[in-house]
Amino acid sequence: MKKFLASLVAAMILMTSFTACSSQANQEVTQETTMVVETEVEEIFIIEETSAVEETTVVEEELISNVIENLNNIVETHDNIVVKSNFEPHKSRLTANEQKVYDEFLAKIFKYEEFVVDFSDPNSNLDYDGFYRVTDAIRGDYTELRLYLETSELYSDEMYNGKVRYISVGYDYNWIIREEFDREFMEDYLEEINKVCDEIIARMPDGTYAEKYEFLGREICKMTVYGEQEGENIPVEEVDWSYAYMNGPLLYGEAICQGYAYAYKYLCNRAGLWCITTSGGCHCWNLVMLEDGSTYNVDLTWADTGNDFERYFLLTQEEIEVDHTLYEGEWEATGK
């Protein structure tokens, strides 16, 4: 293993200048995995104090730092080293220009910056339909943003190509009734969700991807009751919407299909596992990815309400379509 990692380090040093920055989601790995990687890295770079070490240049130190950062995006499974899957799959479906706008928007959104897009501005390099493709992709890749990211079309007499000329990007609570958006409140709320996720992840077995997906899925089902507005667990000011977001299962134990799917995606991603949502027939469920890159359907809502987890876990596309209808353009499973 050490020889393999040492070779990998050498190769990665050569490729560092060509390596793009990893996404925030890709940098999130479990504490256990991080400790394993850091231990291996430390052993690789422990060398005797020689004149050669003293002559290490600033450039070389920077390259080593970049290599270590890249190694943090590697996970160990079945004695094999595999690079973590891309956690921005919706972004990959965009055009090159839209991906550039995606990155620009995301940088502002993570800093809670409000901005307005003017489609008549030649520097915007984006049209009305492209705007929604980009913002939908951002929400798809970063489930937490569904809680507070808001886009609003600004109507005026000024149109552009027959459509609204301006759309604003701002922040408001999509699940709770509050007078004014408070960034500190939002961050504390997300931290509360993260603590619940981390407690679950800490108990996740060290096994195959299938075993990890199953554990996390069963945990969501165990802590969640299907329902829209029972009001028994969800606070009054949140009762109308929390069941449709990831906080419904993770904080209050109540959800409809969207809540199940969003919570499962967020929990899996935080655990370092690839997971997305897909939908059809007014229903929402998930796709997960195994070690070989093949994807499968997981429907926690029907698994929970039907009390038959195995029936809706790791289904091929053919198996899920027995009783599910996929919307056009949605994600299909590749596993056989």
Say what the pLDDT of residue 1 is: 46
Same domain, yes or no: 163 and 279:
no
Task: Give how far Cα 199 sits from Cα of 73, 192, 203, 249, 254, Å.
Answer: 22, 11, 7, 14, 19
Say what the pLDDT of residue 163 is: 80
Same domain, yes or no: 70 and 94:
no
Same domain, yes or no: 102 and 70:
no
Task: Give how far Cα 164 sits from Cα of 131, 211, 263, 327, Å.
Answer: 12, 48, 34, 27
Per-state percent for the chain, helix, strand, coil, to nearest 5: 50, 15, 35
Task: Give how far Cα 317 sits from Cα of 61, 211, 298, 335, Å.
Answer: 48, 20, 11, 8
Helices (H), the chain: 2-15, 31-45, 51-54, 58-71, 89-92, 96-109, 128-141, 183-201, 209-223, 247, 257-270, 300-305, 317-320
Task: Give how far Cα 2 sits from Cα of 7, 76, 191, Å.
Answer: 9, 13, 36
Task: Give how far Cα 170 sits from Cα of 110, 134, 203, 273, Å.
Answer: 11, 15, 37, 29
Going by the DSSP 8-state scheme, the letter that residue 85 receives in this structure is: P
Same domain, yes or no: 111 and 237:
no
Residue 30 resides in a domain: yes
246-259 per-position pLDDT tens digit: 999 999 999 999 99
Domain boundary among 83, 108, 125: 83
Same domain, yes or no: 32 and 158:
no
Domain boundary among 39, 56, 83: 83
3-state secondary structure of 50: coil
Same domain, yes or no: 100 and 122:
yes
Same domain, yes or no: 196 and 309:
yes
Residues of the chain with pLDDT under 50: 1-60, 63-85, 231
Same domain, yes or no: 200 and 280:
yes
Same domain, yes or no: 274 and 191:
yes
- Tokens representing 39 are 């231990």
Q: How many whole angstroms separate alpha carbon 73 and alpha carbon 70?
A: 5
Say what the pLDDT of residue 229 is: 52
- Tokens representing 320 are 């899920």
Q: How many whole angstroms separate alpha carbon 40 and alpha carbon 57?
A: 23
Residue 330 resides in a domain: no
Tokens 């489609």 found at: 119
Boundaries of domain holding 223: 183-320
Same domain, yes or no: 191 and 314:
yes
Task: Give how far Cα 138 sits from Cα of 47, 91, 94, 222, 267, Å.
Answer: 44, 7, 11, 29, 17
Same domain, yes or no: 45 and 24:
yes
3-state secondary structure of 271: coil
Residue 259 resides in a domain: yes
Same domain, yes or no: 11 and 58:
yes
Residue 308 resides in a domain: yes
Q: How many whole angstroms separate alpha carbon 213 and alpha carbon 196?
A: 17
Q: How many whole angstroms separate alpha carbon 243 and alpha carbon 34?
A: 33
Q: How many whole angstroms separate alpha carbon 131 and alpha carbon 301?
A: 31
- Our CA angle for 314, 315, 318, nearest 5°, is 160
Task: Confirm if 284 and 320 have CB atoms less than 8 A apart.
Answer: no
3-state secondary structure of 309: coil
- Report pTM: 0.73
Residue 333 resides in a domain: no
- Tokens representing 49 are 């104090």
Torsion of the alpha carbons at 70, 71, 75 and 81, rounded to the nearest 10: 110
- What domain count does the chain have? 3
Say what the pLDDT of residue 248 is: 92
Residue 332 resides in a domain: no
Q: How many whole angstroms separate alpha carbon 302 and alpha carbon 151?
A: 32
